[in-house]
Structures are given as structure tokens and as C-alpha cells.
Structure 1
Amino acid sequence: SGTVRGEQPHGPARLSPGARFGMEMRIGAPYKILNRVVEFEEGRRIAWRHFSAHVWRYTLEPRGESTLVREQWDGRAVPWRIVFRLAGFTRRHPASIEATLAKLEDYVLRVRGA
């Protein structure tokens, strides 16, 4: 959706259950965040979270020659989720998810066409 700017160096070459990885982010101002993989099923599911307990999850469902990708942002475990609601983050997430999935589809189609 535009908030992720890149990965931090020194992360694992490949993600796996429990792996920690950092990302360069920007929401207003640039910042860095450390994440941990909390769910992992090869080719089917990956989910991660950082210190505030949000979980970002991607599920992949093979469909013949294509794959259905779903993205989920789960903030139910966040103790201060009212702050996120008041700041408008929860209201913006559906549009951000749609933008991310559209960018992912564009990327896959470009790579396939290469």
C-alpha cells in the first residue's frame, strides 16, 4: 500500500516459523520495525507480528493455474486498539489491503510475462 519501504539488512535469507525480520516503513515519518513470524505453512500461509500484537496474514489458495491470495490485518489482540480506531488506521486498512493485493498481482503478472 506504500507504507513498506524495504527490508532491513541482516534478516534471514528465507522466512520460517519464529524467524525475526525487520522492515523500513513510513506512515507520515520513516521508522524501522522488527517482526516475528507467528504462523507458517509452506506455500499456504504466513503471518507475522511486531511488539504491538497486530497480526498481518497472507493465505494462498491454489486455483488451477492461478492462486487466490488473501491478506488479513488482525488487531484484536492489541491492548490499545481504541487508539488505532480513533487515529483512523482501522478505517484505512481495507483500502490499504486492496492496494497491496493489486500491487502483488501486477508484480506477478510482470514476472510471468518476463
Structure 2
Amino acid sequence: MIRILVTPDPIDVATELARVEVEGAGGIASFIGRVRADDGVSTLELEHYPGMTEAALEAVARTAATRWSLAAVTIVHRVGPMGPGERIVLVATAAAHRQAALDACAYCIDRL
């Protein structure tokens, strides 16, 4: 299962993690990126090209799913204005074994 979501709405971590708790997944890894509160940042605004962004994220997810035999992968990325402490991105991967889930999660976030 691959889930890609680009949204201006806050990321519901519990809901997204529940989606990757699938049969056969012995290991689930996740990464949450947040807007840092240092350096006087008051707002971070991210723009994107609808359709192109989702396709690029799906390509990353499909490559990871194939390479590490993932049971599930989710990438949720915020767009629009966000304040300090808000979540920007969530990557979650599920695999039969923890190392595959961890490696796939790192692969995905490194390519965003």
C-alpha cells in the first residue's frame, strides 16, 4: 500500500501511523519533520506544483517499496504557511523486518 498526500492541513500522526500497521509488517519506521523555532522564523511557506509533486513523491515511495519489499509506505507533506513547531512532513514505512523499514524511511526522507 502506498499513500501520498500533499495537503495544507495539519498532519494527523496517529491516523497516518495506523494506516501502515498492516498484516505482515514486523517493523514500522517513521520520521516527522517540523518547522524549527530557532533563527527567528515566524512562518515557513511551502509551494508546490499540483500533480507534479504527488508524482515525484510517489516515484520515491515506489522505489523504496520495491527495493525494501515494503508492506506499506506513507508520505504526507504539508504545503502553505506553517508556524514554528508545526509538522511539515511525515514518512512512515512498514516491512517484515525493522532494518528494511528503517532503511526505507531514511531513503524516502533523504529524497524529499
TM over 0.5: no
Shorter-chain TM band: under 0.3
Q: Normalized against structure 1, the TM-score is what?
A: 0.27
Which structure shows the bigger proportion of residues in strand conformation? 1
Which structure shows the bigger proportion of residues in helix conformation? 2
